[in-house]
């Protein structure tokens, strides 16, 4: 046990069996790993938290993921799309409050063609040249990813959901492929995006063996960003009766990821904030260093329901933004107004601001 902690402290890589041992015995390791995570966070980021303004610009989705509330078969979902002007006005409000990254997320929706998204990215970059744009619009051909990168998109979030192919098949219908998801992540990396992968904690059928595989994958892929939140069931999905993922395991994994990927940009996710009223703060204290408040218009927020009772408070007003600042201040953290790129990209001069 000491041996494993020493390895972690010395930034040595762990193998699958070692991760599995940590997970199977996590009550023995949790305090020490949380402490290491806080130290690493402090060394690399001080008490700074980066903000990303999330814009959920559409909930139409052609996929039928068994866990997700906006899956195509959910006839109860009220579908919407924001147009470019609506998206730009979200950015404008966000910019005034201090956001310098906009995350554009939607379902997988062919309506948003290569050119439409290119146009949206270009418009944001023209109007807000000192801001980073993150896309999160799912699996697309490499040529789309390239076009959007050429248009100025900086980062891309695409959770791998699970590093185990069989587990993937239990969460997704047959027309979705784990290999394609992995290929997309590699394509994004090859093009030069800052890339984010990630998982839901406690998704149906998930075991510690699966999570150990996720950790091996993340350690090797070394993404610039990692999204980790608890699974929360949605009433209108095949997983309606499954139980939510554990908040405590989520916090443990945030800490572990902070330790194995010291520079990673790691959000305290909305799902964590939904599962526990202090979830976001606890996430930051566990080693997360990013908050992603919602800048979408109220009507959109209410319809972008990936899971039951999803938090739909945001920071679209100066007031709510101040409340968030105060909450973070109360646990000893300050928000920063800059793009918050990954260190590797700043060092390599790959960021233009
Ligand atoms: N609970 C928690 N997270 C979910 N996501 C989708 N559905 C749920 C759910 N029911 C996550 C997925 C996806 C991201 C956008 O939201 O991991 O990649």
Q: How confident is the model at residue 352 (pLDDT cuts 50, 70, 90)?
A: low
Q: What are phi and psi of 332, to 5 degrees?
A: 95, 20
Q: How confident is the model at residue 318 (pLDDT cuts 50, 70, 90)?
A: low
Q: Which ligand 1 atom minimizes the distance to the CA of 237?
A: 10
Q: Which ligand 1 atom minimizes the distance to the CA of 68?
A: 7
249: CB partners within 8 A, 6+ apart: 26, 201, 202, 230
Q: Is residue 1 predicted with pLDDT exceeding 90?
A: no
Q: Which residue has the higher pLDDT, 319 or 278?
A: 278
- Lowest average pLDDT, out of 1-10, 144-153, 201-210, goes to 1-10
Residue 152 near residue 125 (C-beta atoms within 8 A) = yes
Pocket of ligand 1 from Cβ distances under 6 Å: 67-68, 159, 161, 200, 229, 231-232, 234, 271, 306-307
Q: Which ligand 1 atom minimizes the distance to the CA of 230?
A: 2
* Structural domain spans, the chain: 14-332
Q: Residue 36 has which token pair?
A: 């290491």
Q: How far is the CA of 65 from the centre of ligand 1 (A)?
A: 9
Q: How far is the CA of 6 from the centre of ligand 1 (A)?
A: 34
Q: Which ligand 1 atom minimizes the distance to the CA of 234?
A: 10
What does the chain come to in residues? 353
Q: Whose CA is nearest to atom 2 of ligand 1?
A: 231
SS (H, E, C) 21-77: HHHHCHHHHHHHHHHHHHHHHHHHHCCEEEECEEEEEECCCCCCCCCCCCCCCCCCC
The pLDDT score that the predictor gives to residue 70 is 98
The pLDDT score that the predictor gives to residue 54 is 94
Which architecture does CATH list for 14-332? Alpha-Beta Barrel (3.20)
Q: What is the mean pLDDT of residues 54-61?
A: 97
The pLDDT score that the predictor gives to residue 197 is 98
Mean pLDDT, the chain, integer: 95
Q: Which of 136, 156, 168, 307 to mutate to test the pocket of ligand 1 (most atoms within 8 A of CB)?
A: 307
Q: How far is the CA of 126 from the centre of ligand 1 (A)?
A: 31
Q: What are phi and psi of 69, to 5 degrees?
A: -70, -20
Q: Whose CA is nearest to atom 14 of ligand 1?
A: 159
CA 183 to chain centre: 19
Cα-based angle 114, 96, 320 (whole degrees, multiple of 5): 100
The sign of the torsion formed by the CA atoms of 277, 279, 284, 288 equals negative
Q: Which ligand 1 atom minimizes the distance to the CA of 161?
A: 17
- Lowest average pLDDT, out of 100-104, 157-161, 305-309, goes to 305-309
Q: Is residue 340 predicted with pLDDT exceeding 70?
A: yes
Cα distances (angstroms) measured from residue 9 to each of 13, 33, 117, 225, 256: 10, 9, 43, 21, 11
Q: How far is the CA of 200 from the centre of ligand 1 (A)?
A: 7
Greatest distance between any 2 Cα atoms in the chain: 56
CA 43 to chain centre: 22
Q: How far is the CA of 68 from the centre of ligand 1 (A)?
A: 6
In the chain, where does DSSP find H-type helix? 2-9, 16-24, 26-45, 84-97, 114-127, 142-150, 165-171, 178-191, 208-221, 247-260, 270-275, 279-286, 298-303, 318-330, 343-347
Q: How far is the CA of 247 from the centre of ligand 1 (A)?
A: 15
Q: What is the mean pLDDT of residues 167-183?
A: 98
Q: How confident is the model at residue 99 (pLDDT cuts 50, 70, 90)?
A: very high
Q: How far is the CA of 172 from the centre of ligand 1 (A)?
A: 12
Q: Whose CA is nearest to atom 3 of ligand 1?
A: 231
Q: How far is the CA of 235 from the centre of ligand 1 (A)?
A: 14
């Amino acid at each position: 046990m000491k041996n494993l902690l020493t390895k972690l402290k010395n930034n040595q890589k762990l193998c699958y069996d070692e991760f599995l041992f940590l997970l199977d015995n996590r009550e023995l390791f949790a305090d020490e790993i949380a402490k290491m995570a806080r130290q690493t966070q402090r060394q690399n980021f001080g008490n700074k938290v980066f903000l990303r303004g999330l814009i959920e610009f559409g909930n139409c989705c052609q996929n039928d993921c068994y866990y997700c509330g906006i899956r195509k078969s959910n006839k109860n979902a009220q579908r919407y799309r924001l147009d470019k002007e609506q998206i730009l006005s979200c950015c404008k409000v966000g910019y005034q409050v201090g956001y310098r990254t906009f995350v554009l997320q939607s379902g997988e929706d062919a309506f948003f063609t290569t050119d439409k998204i290119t146009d949206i990215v270009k418009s944001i970059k023209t109007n807000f040249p000192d801001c980073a744009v993150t896309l999160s619009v799912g699996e697309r051909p490499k040529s789309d990813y390239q076009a959007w990168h050429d248009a100025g998109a900086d980062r891309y979030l695409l959770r791998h959901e699970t590093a185990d192919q069989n587990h993937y098949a239990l969460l997704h219908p047959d027309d979705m492929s784990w290999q394609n998801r992995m290929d997309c992540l590699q394509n994004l990396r090859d093009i030069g995006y800052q890339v984010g992968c990630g998982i839901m904690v406690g998704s149906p059928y998930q075991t510690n063996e699966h999570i150990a595989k996720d950790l091996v994958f993340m350690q090797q892929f070394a993404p610039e960003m990692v999204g980790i939140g608890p699974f929360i069931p949605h009433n209108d999905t095949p997983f309606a009766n499954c139980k939510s993922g554990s908040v405590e395991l989520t916090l443990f994994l945030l800490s572990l990821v902070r330790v194995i990927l010291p520079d990673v940009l790691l959000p305290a996710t909305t799902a964590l904030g939904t599962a526990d009223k202090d979830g976001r703060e606890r996430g930051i204290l566990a080693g997360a260093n990013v908050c992603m408040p919602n800048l979408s218009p109220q009507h959109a927020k209410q319809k972008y329901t990936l899971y039951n009772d999803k938090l739909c408070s945001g920071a679209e007003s100066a007031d709510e933004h101040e409340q968030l600042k105060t909450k973070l201040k109360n646990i000893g953290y300050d928000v920063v107004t800059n793009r918050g790129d990954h260190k590797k990209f700043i060092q390599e001069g790959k960021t233009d601001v």
